[in-house]
Structure 1
Amino acid sequence: MTITKAIILSAGQGSRLLPLTRDVPKCMIEFNGRTLISWQIAALVANGVTDIVVVTGFRTERVEDHALQLYRETGAGIRCVFNPFFQVADNLGTCWIVREEMDRDFIILNGDTIISDEIVARLIAGAQDAITVTVDIKADGDYDDDDMKVNRDASGRLHHIGKRLLPPDTNAESIGMLAFTGEGPAIFRNQIDQMMRTPEGVERWYLRAIDIIAKGNRVGTASIEGLEWQEVDFHQDVEAAMALTAKWVAQGRYGR
């Protein structure tokens, strides 16, 4: 399996990180010499993903300028698509804005998650279904309210995904990174379009679309248990991301 395209959802400000994000988009926070989005692109490019679309919103001009810099550094084709509704729509709306870019096999990635190149490789290798959700497993089974919880069976098929899953129904968590292959992009585009035609569409997360799709289609999962990643939502996450990326710098990973 080869996937060469990715869509990064980076339209939000990251208000839970204020004042850090008062004038800087969350994806532009710097961690040990690289911005968050630069760490993401390094991991993608290391796996041959070189056609990258970044959906912007808050302080879009900063991200656009940075994307040009990253293009010069990596050689990857990095394009920005501005979402003018980023202040009033959740990330389902962000996906809808960029739906025309879902024209072939692609990876979608939340703009607030630092991932390793091994995680990208694991997802690409494990993308055996039309839609594949990257999941991590907590050994103690202690998933908190903010985790995007997943229920999957022994074959890896996803049955439900959402923050409101009850503990007995939860056996994994989504890290906000999915692969769409074969008919997967068309299935996802159609579901997004249907949901955005409803009054509550702008208030939805795009993973709600995956939950609905899973009721009638097989949605697979790829476990990245044991691999390193860090979501950056709260101030304590910034400290954890600093520690993780410092470790990678010390190891000489993603050398420039």
Structure 2
Amino acid sequence: MTRAPMQAVILSAGIGSRLLPLTREIPKCLVEVGGRSILDHQLDALHAAGVAEATIVGGYRYRQIGAHLARSRPPLPVRLVFNPFWSVASSIGSVWMARDRLDAPFCLVNGDTVFAADLLAAAVRAPGEGTGLLVEPLAAPEPDDMLVTIANGQVCAVAKDLPYDVATHRSLGVIVSAGGDDYVRALESVIARPGGLDAFHHAVIAELAGYAPVRAIVAGEGAWQEIDRPDDIAAWTGRAR
């Protein structure tokens, strides 16, 4: 049976306060890295990976994202969705706004990370059914890392506060699914709990891993950089030369 085309969901609703003053007048995904916006880098990498279309969930200054897309002519069809709860909910709220796209094969990406095209393509094309999380081995933990415990190729735990003696990997913020309703059911379970709106979207993976296999997709060669602070922009520019 032929699998449905892969689509992407890009979470780009947050204000990016740690990038101030760069984000005072523009959304974080439009901050330039190496002369191009984070969003343009992502759309090009997703297109190169064979992704058929993308849904961008915007919030802070989301109309600027729409104007940018109209000017830039993305390499694949794009739908922009507004998350009106961006200022009162964590990233899980943006996932919720795109839930109608999450029963088909999808690749979910944080909107603040730049990837080399080959790294993202390898994740999208990684064999396996169900849901997978893109990770890399944990060498020198950083304070903002989303930590992951992997055993026998499966995700066992995901949280920022995992003890370092338990964590084996860090998440790159990319989730790949072959489709089905498991991910959406886990999303509903997490967001419906008291305090669920404050959860990072990785809480959905932690929930799902409690009762279904979540495969670890270990990143191969290829640069990536989370753009959280101005220094991160220079770090990517240096690696890209």
Which TM-score tier does this pair reach, normalised by the shorter chain?
Answer: over 0.9
CA distance in 2, matches of 1:130, 1:36: 28
Q: Per the alignment, do residues 48 and 88 of structure 1 end up closer, same or farther by CA in structure 2, a change over 3 Å counting?
A: same
Unmatched runs of 5 consecutive residues or more in structure 1: 248-256
The aligned amino acid for 2:148 is V
- Report if aligned partners of 1:148, 1:174 keep a CA contact under 8 Å in 2: yes
User: Is the 2:112–2:226 Cα contact (8 Å) retained in structure 1?
Assistant: yes
Q: CA deviation at 1:121?
A: 1.8
1: CA distance, partners of 2:9 / 2:82: 13
Matches within 5 A, 1:20-169: 20-70=22-72, 72-74=73-75, 76-138=76-138, 141-153=139-151, 155-169=152-166
Aligned length: 239
Tell me by how many angstroms 1:69 deviates. Answer: 2.9
2:185 maps to: 190
Matched residue SS, 2:165:
helix
**Which consecutive segments of 4 or more residues in structure 1 shift more than 3 A?**
none
Say if 1:36 and 1:200 are closer, same or farther in 2 by CA, change over 3 A: same
Over the residues paired in the alignment, what is the CA RMSD in angstroms?
1.6
Find 2:219's aligned residue among 215, 224, 237: 224
Higher helix share: 1
Query: Hey, what's the Cα distance between the residues in 2 that align with 1:88 and 1:12?
Result: 10
User: Any idea what the Cα deviations from partners look like across 1:33-78, whole Å, max 9, x if unmatched?
Assistant: 31001001111111221310000001111101112234x252x101
Structure 2 unmatched runs, 5+: none
TM-score w.r.t. length of structure 2: 0.94
Q: Percent identity?
A: 30
Superposed CA offset, 1:164-217 (max 9, x none) = 11111111110000101143xx11111211222223011111101111111111
What is the DSSP-based 3-state SS (H/G/I as helix, E as strand, rest coil) of the residue aligned with 1:95?
helix
